[in-house]
Amino acid sequence: MGHRHCQFALGSLIVSTLSPFDFFEKACKLSFEIQKATALEKATALVAPLILSALPQLRKDLELLNAASNDTYALYADMTRNTARPLKVSSDMRPCDFHTLFTGKNLRWEALGLILVIAGCKAQYTAPNDPLFTLEDGKQINRDEFIEDIMHAANTCINICQTHGAVNEIMVSLVYYDLMMVSNFYGDNYHGTWRRMGDCVSALYAAGIHCEESNSEGDNKEPFFMREFRRRLYASVYRSDKTLAVFYGRPPMVGWRYSDRKMMLDISDEAVASEAEDATLLDAELSKLDSAGWNTEGCLHPATFNRVRCQLAVFKERFLEQSLAGEKDSDVVRNVEAISAECTERWDALPAYLRYETYTEDAAWNGRGPGLTVRLIAAYLDYLHLHFQIQRLLHRITQQALPLLLEVSLKLLVTSLISTKPNNRVYETRRNFPTVMLFYCSPAAGVLALELRRCTIKGIPLPSTISRADVIRNLSVLTSCLEWIVLPGDGNHKLCLEFNKMLALVLDEVLNYEPPANGVQANRGDTGASDDNDTLMAGQGFFDMPMTEGLEPIPTVSEEFLNWLDNATWNNKDLF
């Protein structure tokens, strides 16, 4: 960390950023309340009561730090020594005592950092004019400046912890939440997002969270609440790693073969944290689990969605092994088709209340409510996107896969657009749409738009699996949505803007296209194949449109467009 005066300045920055603590306490509580109502993705890694129980003591700790004058050096030194020590959870520890390992006399920098990033994530998903940003004395907090301050302080905190070798569950949680903040602030395609994912995985492995069997007996035996906490944390990191790996087209960092950490139970946070205090609640929820570990009452806990998406992530990893292999297996088609079939079988075996496609519109939006419905949609999009990637790989090998690729692309597009329904335009869920757009909607919409363009120019029909009218109608709805739903301050805003310009250009070209009178482009049958003349018929290979600095021109061929999207890693210079 350098000179002791530098260390003191860094510590003071972190502590001062946590003032007033009333705001951070309120933001953390609201964050977990929203978690109950929506099972918001960023919150599913934590067990709420384990963190909320620490807030009263953290308030006292910060009051002590702020009141200290000549003793501040000594207090910061104690915190640094605590951070460098292992965080040992005894087998008989009660959930309500867990916070004593990182508060009070055991106060650690990573504990302060975790509160920072939980509040920061909550701020990112809260409208600037929300009452949250009005303090009790009437003072108004500037949300954007606050988020920048949080990110700076959190990064400082992580650097301190990494310097002193902090490896524990609180540290992994801190880095994971910071990953969410970085992706929201700079964009999912920002290289720093991928780099922070690496930090998260490194901390996870170093803390041994991927190992369960070795922590099942003797001195290392995990108490029940800690086992479930670690399972949730591992599942969150594992599936996030696979999501980014598929998005970037890069090898994943976490391998399921190197972990024996089991799937978390489908029970509530309150049940996890109530084992010692009220075994009745835990026993009641455990008794209502089926043989596969799902609750039989149709409850949608934060852990529920984590389980669903973690199971899908295993299939993503198997797919990545095939698609990114240096030397392709001669049986790659058969292997990938087997993965697709097994994934479909696993999805169909899920309880019906977990699958969005089994709901009527009224049962979903009015019965479950917009918050939980968006989470159901997100899980379904995850499932569809895996099939999209599988069909994309098969299309590279055999042109016969084009009809199925377009069919699943249209399903992805239509399902993504459901998230923009009028009764779902609250800020929190609207704020999540850019990620839905980049990960799921843009690849599918891009393929549909460019195939529509190719078929229009060549004078051939689209495959019978999709309707030309449906494609045009849904692409038109998407371009309209992108004009208002992606907020200007979002890290993904500019990339979505560029993509929308491309879609508008394609739609204008398709709707206004007039075939040559000489009939050069005769209907040669829709094989889905391309030859050297196709590129000439479809233009110059790239769209003639101004691009944001740092982005390459957008190709006019669907597979090349997907490669462009995979590699569209850039730095949003407006944020530096």
Beta partners for residue 289, in sequence order? 295
User: Would you say residue 536 lies in a domain?
Assistant: no
503-519 pLDDT per residue, tens: 888 898 889 888 877 65
69-118 pLDDT per residue, tens: 778 889 999 999 999 999 999 999 999 999 999 999 999 999 999 999 99
DSSP 217: S
User: Would you say residue 61 lies in a domain?
Assistant: no
User: Would you say residue 268 lies in a domain?
Assistant: yes
User: Would you say residue 323 lies in a domain?
Assistant: yes
CA dihedral 19, 22, 23, 25 (to 10 degrees): 110
36-54 pLDDT per residue, tens: 555 455 557 889 999 999 9
How many degrees, rounded to 5, is the angle at CA 129 between CA 30 and CA 132?
Answer: 25
Which region holds residue 104: left if phi is over 0, alpha if psi is between -120 and 50, else beta?
A: left
| Cβ-Cβ contacts under 8 Å for 235 (sequence gap 6 or more) | 45, 263, 264, 306, 307, 310
DSSP 68: -
Residue among 277, 298, 196 at smallest CA distance from 244: 196
| Residue 499 confidence (pLDDT) | 81
| Cβ-Cβ contacts under 8 Å for 121 (sequence gap 6 or more) | 31, 42, 177, 180, 181, 184
- The token duo for 307 is 């389980």
| Cβ-Cβ contacts under 8 Å for 128 (sequence gap 6 or more) | 143, 144
98-108 pLDDT per residue, tens: 999 999 999 99
| Cβ-Cβ contacts under 8 Å for 5 (sequence gap 6 or more) | none
113/522: higher pLDDT: 113
Q: Which residue has the tokens 């973690």?
A: 310
Instruction: Record the pTM.
Output: 0.88
21/531: higher pLDDT: 21
Helix axis angle, 143-163 relative to 169-186, nearest 10°? 140
384-433 pLDDT per residue, tens: 999 999 999 998 888 788 999 999 999 999 999 887 775 555 666 667 77
- The token duo for 284 is 């009641």
User: Would you say residue 272 lies in a domain?
Assistant: yes
| Residue 398 confidence (pLDDT) | 81
Element (H, E) at 449: helix 442-458
As a whole number of angstroms, the distance between CA 32 and CA 41 comes to 11
Q: How many other C-beta atoms lie within 10 A of the C-beta of residue 498?
A: 17
Q: Which residue has the tokens 């508008």?
A: 504
Q: How many domains does the chain have?
A: 1
User: Would you say residue 117 lies in a domain?
Assistant: no
Q: Is the dihedral of CA 208, 213, 216, 222 positive or negative?
A: positive
235/527: higher pLDDT: 235
Q: Which residue has the tokens 């129980």?
A: 53
What phi and psi values does residue 134 have, to the nearest 5 degrees? Answer: -105, 115
User: Would you say residue 495 lies in a domain?
Assistant: no
Helix axis angle, 332-349 relative to 370-397, nearest 10°? 160
User: Would you say residue 261 lies in a domain?
Assistant: yes
As a whole number of angstroms, the distance between CA 279 and CA 432 comes to 37
Q: Show the domain range for 223.
A: 219-331
Q: Which amino acid is at 176?
A: Y
